[in-house]
Amino acid sequence: MQEISFTVPISGRIRIEEGSITITVDRAKTVINFEPAAGKQPRFSAGKGRTLFDIVLETAKEFVTTTGVNSFSPSELYHMALEKYPDLKRNSWISHIIACTPNHPSYKYYTSRRDFFSYAQNGRYRLNPQYLAENSR
């Protein structure tokens, strides 16, 4: 028995679109159609030029102004913000609050360098005075 090695040049193209993938090799074409995953949550958008940190600070100021109390939990702020921004994710919200609280034990794991809040133990936070003063202008 004898073996002979050879190569055959083949060119192809793969096109990925919203609901299909098309694979073309030379003149042969295969199309695979699919439906996008159901139940996929929409991605949160704070709006052009705004971040989730901006929304966290805005919500905290609003909470302190409406209640007159400078003590809150992340969930109280989250539920208040959820009325305006229904696509908010709870874990992202809590992470952003911790990232804005320099005296929180987990702050060292975040690099935001923001100081909006003070941790008052037992899951309660306070808005720092410099942000309260802004609110009264």
The pLDDT of residue 5 is 84
Same domain, 59 and 97: yes
Question: Mean pLDDT over residues 112-137, rounded?
Answer: 85
Same domain, 67 and 118: yes
Per the structure, how many domains does the chain have?
2
Same domain, 85 and 117: yes
Same domain, 64 and 22: no
What does pLDDT average to over the chain?
87
Residue corresponding to tokens 């720092």? 128
* Residue 29 belongs to domain spanning: 10-40
- Nearest in space to 101 (alpha carbons), one of 51, 60, 50: 60
H or E segment at 99? Answer: helix 90-99
The alpha carbon dihedral of 84, 90, 96, 98 has a sign of positive
Three-state SS at 132: helix
Amino acid at site 92: S
Task: Assign 129 a pLDDT band (cuts: 50, 70, 90).
Answer: very high
The first and second tokens of residue 93, run together, are 């919200």
Relative to beta strand 28-33, strand 117-119 is unpaired
Same domain, 63 and 30: no
The pLDDT of residue 25 is 87
- Tell which wins on pLDDT, 7 or 137: 7
Is residue 118 within 8 Å of 128, Cβ to Cβ?
yes
**Does the pTM of the predicted model rise above 0.85?**
no
- Whether 61 shows a pLDDT value over 70: the answer reads yes
- Nearest in space to 57 (alpha carbons), one of 133, 131, 137: 131
